Chains A and B, each alone.
Chain A
């Protein structure tokens, strides 16, 4: 059963990603991206990372994609002249994709004695890790964030503050004297 779920959600994730890349319309692309993100959240669920599953749904499929859809609909690209990517761009991107796929195939098809990938098929039974042992509850995350990763946690808080100030500065057009520029209705 879990095997079936894994295949189902990986196909969903990869299919959504492919449709995002080949779709002409940016709004449809964003919808396919949401499908892909939800499939990935389900993969997190299969990996028993329940907290990250909720976080993925709330932050990525929720907040980030709503922001994307808002901006895509605000900036109407469709009204401009239709431009298809030229042949050189298509050729270059296909060559890039082929090189990456070649690398993936090479890593996954070499025999296990010389492969870079370890043959791990079973979940570890006992908590033997050197770091924080894996747990399904949120308690482990809280413990990790407030002990071992206290400094990164604080820095992330500052990063969010800086991002907020940056967004305000970028979108407010503050002049050299420090005052925000008045944005009245444009007289054309």
Chain B
């Protein structure tokens, strides 16, 4: 393969930046959460690329753990979002500012 490690790292960095932009910009908690998942995925891509180009499986195994933890995190986070919606009838972040006032 002629594509270098740096090309994968560039894609990973761009994805992380886009996810960060989404977390800052969006109002809907669920979309913010999806953007967080995107950032996690970008880091996964960098880890796999490093593992491949350094000829070591350790990075890939770490990605395995990362995917598992992300799946558990999504389940808990979405349960919290549903509980929040039942209590407050909204999931828009600008209306969930009870700690601010």
Q: Which residues of A approach B to under 8 Å, CB–CB?
A: 2-3, 6, 10, 13-14, 17-18, 20-21, 26, 29-30, 33, 36-37, 40, 43-44, 46-49, 51-52, 55-56, 59-60, 63-64, 67-68, 71-72, 74-75, 77, 80, 83, 85, 89-90, 92-94, 96-97, 100-101, 104, 107-108, 117-121, 123-124, 126-135, 140-141, 144-145, 148-149, 152, 156, 159-160, 162-164, 166-167, 170-171
Contacts and interface: CB of A to CB of B under 8 A. Distances in A.
Interface string B48-71: 110111111110110111011111
A145 B64 contact: yes
A37 B34 CA distance: 11
A75 to B, nearest CB: 5
14 contacts: A33-B38, A47-B52, A48-B52, A72-B30, A100-B13, A104-B10, A123-B53, A124-B53, A124-B55, A129-B56, A131-B56, A159-B72, A163-B75, A170-B83
B10 A108 contact: yes
Nearest to B81: A71
Contacts of B80: 170
Contacts of B26: 21, 85
A20 B20 contact: no
B34 A127 contact: no
Interface size class of B (residues with CB under 8 A): 35 or more
Contacts of A63: 71
A43 B85 CA distance: 36
Given A67-B78, A77-B28, A123-B1, A44 B48 contact: yes
A131 B44 CA distance: 19
A117 B82 CA distance: 43
A52 B62 CA distance: 11
B61 A145 contact: yes
Contact of B56 (A29, A118, A134): A134
B9 to A, nearest CB: 7
A120 B38 contact: no
B96 interface: no
Main secondary structure of the interface of B (DSSP, over half): helix
B11 A97 contact: no
Given A72-B30, A90-B25, A123-B52, A101 B17 contact: yes
B99 interface: no
Contacts of B91: 75, 77
Contact of B82 (A75, A119, A149): A75
A154 B18 CA distance: 34
Which 9 pairs from chain A and chain B are nearest by CB?
Answer: A93-B24, A163-B72, A21-B22, A129-B56, A121-B4, A124-B55, A132-B57, A93-B25, A97-B21
B61 A149 contact: yes
